[in-house]
Structures are given as C-alpha cells and as structure tokens.
Amino acid sequence: MAQLDTLDLIVLVALLIGSIAYFTKGSYWAIPKDPYASSPIQNGAANGGKTRNIVEKMEETRKNCVIFYGSQTGTAEDYASRLAKEGSQRFGLKTMVADIEDYDYETLDTFPEDKVAFFVMATYGEGEPTDNAVEFYQFLTGDDVAFESGATADDKPLSSLKYVAFGLGNNTYEHYNSMVRNVDAAFTKLGATRIGSAGEGDDGAGTMEEDFLAWKEPMWTALTESMGLEERDAVYEAVFSVTEDESTSPEEETVYLGEPTAAHREGREKGPFSPHNPYIAPIVESYELFNVKDRNCLHMEISIAGSNLSYQTGDHIAIWPTNAGEEVDRFLKVFGLEDKRDTVINIKGIDVTSKVPIPAPTTYDAAVRYYMESLAPVSRQFVSTLAAFAPDENSKAEIVRLGGDKDYFHEKITAQCYNIAQALQSITDKPFSAVPFSLLIEGLNKLQPRYYSISSSSQVQKDKISITAVVESVRLPGAAHVVKGVTTNYLLALKQKQNGDASIDSYASSYAISGPRDKYNGIRVPIHVRHSNFKLPSDPSKPIIMVGPGTGVAPFRGFIQERAALAAKGEKVGTTVLFFGCRKSDEDFIYQDEFKKYQEQMGDSLKIITAFSREGNEKVYVQHRLKQNAELVSELLKQKANFYVCGDAANMAREVNIELGHIIAQQRGLPAEKGEEMVKHLRSSGSYQEDVWS
C-alpha cells in the first residue's frame, strides 16, 4: 500500500509539473535566454517577451510616448532613438522605442488619449514597406481592417490615437515616401489625429538629415501644445549603462569579440541562416575585372554548399562587413580609448524598454570594429551633443557653431564626408576622453550588412553565388582625404589576401580578415541571402530588355548565364537585349569575354549594345543607345517584353525611364504624356522592373 501511495504521489507531481510546463511554456525553469542566441545585435527589450499589446506594455512601464520604426538599413531606427531621447530630455516625455513587428496592431483602438505614438517609416524599393513593417502595413491599409474590439473602419476606431509621422524616402523612385504617405492616409481614414505635419526625408537629394532637423522643431512645438508639455534644458541622460570589467579576460568564451550571435561565439553556429544569423561562407575565387590601375572592380565566387542556403536568379546577397583597422585606431584615439581597447565592458539598458544594440560583454575594440557604424558620415545633431564634453572652450565653441549653422557644417564636415572621428580631429588634436561611451552607442547606428545584386544564375551554379562590386575609393572635390567604402574595401582586402597581391596597402592590411578569434581563416565572409522580386519571366521564350551600365550589369550576367544554359540545352529562348555602358572598352568593359561565349550559345537571340562614355568626342550613355535603338525596343515591347533597369537611381535610371516614355510615344504616334502613362502601366504590371541604388 505504501508503494502505491508513493507511486500515486509521483504521478500527481508529474501531472502538476506537466500542467505548469504547458501553461507557462516552461518559463519557470527555463535557462535565461541569451538575447543574442538567435539575433545578432538586438535583445528585444522593447517588448520584453511578455506582451504584444503596446497599450499594456506602456501601462506596465509607465510610458506615455512610443516611437515605432519601420527600418531596412537602420536609419529609421536611429531617428526613432534620437526622437525618444530628445522627447525625454527636452520635454519630460516617458518614451520607449519599438520595432513595429514586435507588437500587434489590433489593439491600437484602445490607445489612450493622454499618450502619443510616433511612426518613423522608411520606404523600401518601389514604394514597399520595410521587412519589419510588412504586416503592419498590410493590416492598416487592408480593405477589411478590423480591430480586436470588433470595430471597423466605418466606426473611426482610432479616434483616441494621437500620432506623429516621419518618412524616409528617395525622390529618384516613382513612389517617393509612399510608406509614410499611405500610413498617414490610413490613420486619417480610421479617425486618428496627426500632431504636426507628416515629415519627409529625401535620401535621393542627400538632404535626409536636414529634412529631419527642419521637420522636428515645429513638430515638437505642436506636440507641446497638444499634450501640455514644457520644454526644459536638455542634459545628457545615458540610455545605456557601460561598465568596465577589469577582472574578465577578453579571451574568455563569454565575451563577444565580433561574433554576431552566441552560437557563433561558442563555435556552434548552425542554420537556418538568416538576417539574424549569418553564414560564414568561403570565398572560393576572387579576381579583378578592370584593366586600369587606379580603380578596382571585384568578381567573387562565394560557396553556400552545405549551408542549406538557396537563392534564385536576381536575388541579393548581404555581406556583413568589419570596419578598417586604421579607422578603428583613429576612433579609439580620438575618444581616449587606445589603451583600453581590449578592456571588457558590459552594456545594459537603464530603462527596461531600452534596446541594447551591441552584444555584451564585449570590448571597446570589438564594439567599434564589428558592431558600430563608426565610419558613417556624421550628422549635425550628433556633433552638437558632444559640445558638453569638448576638451577645451575653443573646441566647444567650434562644435556649437557647427551644430547651429547648417551651411558651415556642410562646408566643414559634410562636404568632406567625415566620419565622427575625422570630424573631431578636424576641430582639435586633443582627445575627447570625457565623452561617455554610452553616448557613442546611442549616437551611431549598428553596423549593417550591405546588399549586392547576385551576378550568377541559380540554375547554373546553385551552390555558388557570384558578386560584382566596384571598390569605393574616391577623393571628393575639395576634400582633404580619400573616402573609402567600408564593405567594398573589406572585400578588396579579402581578394588581395586570397591572391597574395603584392600591391596591398596599409589600409587594406588593417582589416581583421581572419575575423573574431580567427574564425574566418581560409578567406571567409559572413553572409545571408535576401530574396528579390527582380526576376526573369517564367517563360524563357519571352523577350527581355536589360539596361545595366557598370556594375548594374551584375544581375543581367545571371540572367544571360541562365538563358545561355537553356539555349545550350536546345530550349527556345526569346530575344535577349542588354544595353551596357562603361568608360572605355579596353578598361572597364566587365565580362566582355564571357558575353562572347554566351553569344556563341545563344546566337542572334542575344544582342549586346554598348555605350562607352569616354571614347570619342561626345559622351555616350545607355539612354542614348536606347534612343538610337527605339524601333527595336518598341517592337519588343509590342511582343510583351519585360524591361529591366539596374544601377544608379539618381541619374541613369531616371533618364532611362524618361527616354522609354519618349520611345513609346514617338514609335506609336502618341502624345508624350501617353508614353509616360504607358511606362507607369508597365511598372504597375511588373513588366518594368528596377534594381537601383542612390
């Protein structure tokens, strides 16, 4: 009987434990999750893993202002953080920053009247929401929007919601700032009240920062009136606590030395690989494409064999860069951290809703080298925040002047394309040792992956991704130094190391090519794949027209590679026309020999029309060749050809768009405006596709 009682007790305890496990999802005894176990540089502190109801979260943390962001590259997130900080320090708002995908939207109709929501929304590509804002956008703009309470659009369910809106866009795209415009229209339709005007920043004109600064001051004025706020003198209040740990060696396994996740740090990285978990991919081949000494264009073959990563022709590859050692050294010197570079630091959010952008514990060196956009062009607002920590009165006065005079700032800083360390060195040789490291973490973005059009066909080489990249290294007019691209120079350093180039310079050799803890040895690079809508037609017999000068030809190499392989198998391939432009045929006509090989495989179905801008008396560009071949272009469009453009958005893509409208109008005897309308129709139907950058 005693044995039965014991058995009963065991069974009851087991049932109790099972019940608790089921209803709590194991949270009572789960090992605390490392915030970077699956995510590279975020810990989700904004929603704390407890609730997806933003109203509950704000009540729980006693906040009266939430700043949502929809961000693709980190800029919108940076602006959201800056607004939160300014709202707190200048106006006493209880602010929190929130990734818009961390919360549900069905409860916005319960948003209290005494609180305010900011929406800082970037527009991605051709008028699309950023990856983290897709669900929010679809919900808000859907025809059947309905809230948890059962309210529909006809009920004006958001009548208690006060909101502020700022958009990040690029005027070289047709759907300029459409995200913030459409979100604003949807909120208005649902009864919400906007505070101030809906701001719009323009990356295409290079005025994003000044647009933001010009918008926010009248916005704050309107918000103070609406919410009865009082402005006060802003004094720096740290968002993060940064403490040095002299007792911990940087070599200990618990310390992040540049690894994107805990799994990478512990040497157990595994898939699925994603934007939160990169694959450390081998570079199996790399070589130079240009035949000129002062410019570089790289071709690289990156293996994804055994990774379970896949791509489709036309997709993008993301390269996770590191900052150049020369600039890391400069940064540490300017802020008086040279002798502390290997000191272990812990970083924590002071407020429960603070989102820590750097995994910790780490070191000053690792933070600056791997996790912070320390080489990005510096903003006027960020420079202004450093005045209080200047090493002397002269430096302080100069910073105050720079912060208050946008024309002077443009002349001294923006025109030079200075990063923060270079900007401060231009002011004084004295170190800014008093600047809290927390302020630098707050003021600089996370180091972001850079995206490149894949220049290979997944049907031809499914286990290898080709990339084509011009190395950015230019001396701007009037600038005192050479401006170097972070990622392309990193790739150049990898190529030079792989090929044993004798020409490697001190800048390239300063990159930590072997990676944190020498984990990238063997010439490897962190990557992930981003799928794109820039695709070949499903029917290979359909004609296509491609316009891709310079490295804009990258995806079209993949397109042609795929069609050539199909032709070699005997499949019918439609007319394939490429308009390619570069400076000179003997200097930068990339893939020239390959195109000859594809020509042999495809015969008359492949037509490559070239434009060389520096051969002859007049500069000839792809749009000129397009005009000269108007009859061919028009005939192919009548045959339902797809039209593709890849490359510079600000000039080339815009000119091509205009020229195509002219061609359609002239060839069909239509008014000019009708040609423009038909180009817009091609865009909306997916027959005109762009993969462009500013």
Q: Which residues are identified as catalytic?
A: 453, 646, 691, 693
Any residues with CB less than 8 A from the CB of 151 and at least 6 apart, and which? Answer: 109, 157
DSSP state of 617: S
Residue in the block written with tokens 């139907």 = 685
The tokens for 626 are 């397009």
Q: Is 639 exposed, middle or buried (0-12, 13-18, 19+ CB in 10 A)?
A: exposed
Which of 535, 506, 360 lies closest to 438, judged by CA?
Answer: 360
Centre a 10 Å sphere on the Cβ of residue 490 and count the other Cβ atoms it contains: 24
Q: Mind giving me the DSSP string for 533-557?
A: S----SSTTS-EEEE--GGGGHHHH
Half-sphere exposure of 142 (CA within 13 A, CB side): 14
Spatial strand order of the sheet with 642-648 comes to 606-612, 576-582, 544-547, 642-648, 688-693
What is the torsional sign of CA 240, 246, 249, 250?
Answer: positive
Question: Phi and psi (nearest 5°) for 675?
Answer: -65, -40
Give the distance, in angstroms, between the CA of residue 287 and the centroid of all CA atoms in the same chain.
27
Q: Are 267 and 515 a contacting pair, CB within 8 Å?
A: no
Half-sphere exposure of 175 (CA within 13 A, CB side): 17
Taking each continuous run of H as one helix and of E as one strand, the counts in the chain are 22, 23
Q: Mind giving me the DSSP string for 407-437?
A: HHHIIIIITTT-BHHHHHHHH-SS--TTS-H
Does the N-terminal peptide bond of residue 272 adopt cis geometry, omega within 30 degrees of 0? yes
Half-sphere exposure of 118 (CA within 13 A, CB side): 34
Centre a 10 Å sphere on the Cβ of residue 324 and count the other Cβ atoms it contains: 23
Q: Are 305 and 463 a contacting pair, CB within 8 Å?
A: yes
Long-range contacts of 221-230 (CB under 8 A, 24+ apart): 221/196, 222/195, 222/196, 223/91, 223/116, 223/164, 223/195, 223/196, 224/91, 226/116, 226/162, 226/195, 227/114, 227/116, 227/162, 229/91, 229/92, 229/93, 230/91, 230/92
Alpha helices in 335-368 (DSSP H): 364-366
Q: What is the CA radius of gyration of the chain?
A: 28
Residue in the block written with tokens 């310390």 = 255
Does the N-terminal peptide bond of residue 357 adopt cis geometry, omega within 30 degrees of 0? no
What is the torsional sign of CA 402, 407, 412, 415?
Answer: positive
Instruction: Give the alpha-carbon dihedral of 589, 490, 412, 426, to 10 degrees.
Output: -140
Cα gap 238→236, rounded to integer Å: 6
Which of 95, 99, 88, 69 lies closest to 166, judged by CA?
Answer: 69
